[in-house]
A and B are shown apart, each in its own frame.
Chain A
């Protein structure tokens, strides 16, 4: 949701059918994780996407997956070329 525009905690709470307290707590956790940042102007606290994006993690998982498969390919080659030796 925040991917499209910033929103106030009240708006987010309404949108997700959560209590204001529940949403404050939820946003607080996301803020601690660096996924959102909030700013208070007057009496309204607004949330926006933070510096850390989940995309980084998705990219890392994808990179690791390739690394893992490559590693198993190399293990296979290794087992093949050391067959006679053992």
Chain B
């Protein structure tokens, strides 16, 4: 068990390129078409996506603009997750949005890249980018940015003075 865990750890790499981004690189001992199917065929997704709980795939339209909604049923309650597919390019690229019912409005974009390693293995590069409600409403772009730039300019001046 310990060995398996160590092996997985050695084959995966988690980085946080920014405080709103998570990037996971991981190698799976399976050919790319199998990994792609595990992500895009409802019958297969049902078998691993949920956290050991019953997973009901209410909707899974794997095409650009299509909806997906998975609902997990556990003793602790019911958890719904949903989003839309933004890009479906078999067998190497899948982009979709992700939202948990428990954090409505906090949408993130999941980009999954499937790389054929040429030796029967597949490298997955999963990047998740968080969007806050403010991002979505475009509030950060309007005004906040100006304010931030002013703050940074002020900080630059201060640092120049105290150097």
Q: Do A and B bind each other?
A: yes
Instruction: Classify chain B's interface size.
Output: 35 or more
Q: Helix, strand, loop or mixed for chain A's interface?
A: helix
Contact B130–A61 (Cβ < 8 Å): yes
Please tell me if B47 contacts chain A, counting CB pairs below 8 Å: yes
Q: Provide the bound-state CA to CA distance between A17 and B106, in Å.
A: 32
Please tell me if A29 contacts chain B, counting CB pairs below 8 Å: yes
Nearest residue in A to B152 (C-beta to C-beta)? A16
Assuming the contacts A33-B139, A71-B49, asked whether A60 and B147 have C-beta atoms less than 8 A apart, the reply is no
The 27 listed contacts between A and B (C-beta, < 8 Å) are: A16-B150, A17-B157, A17-B158, A18-B151, A22-B146, A25-B146, A26-B144, A26-B146, A26-B150, A29-B140, A29-B147, A30-B144, A33-B133, A61-B130, A64-B22, A64-B128, A67-B51, A68-B22, A68-B24, A69-B12, A70-B51, A72-B124, A74-B49, A78-B44, A78-B47, A78-B48, A79-B35
**Residues of B bordering A, CB below 8 Å:** 8, 12, 14, 19-20, 22, 24, 26, 28-30, 34-35, 38, 44, 47-49, 51-52, 100, 103, 106, 108, 124, 126, 128, 130, 132-134, 139-140, 142-144, 146-148, 150-151, 153-154, 157-158
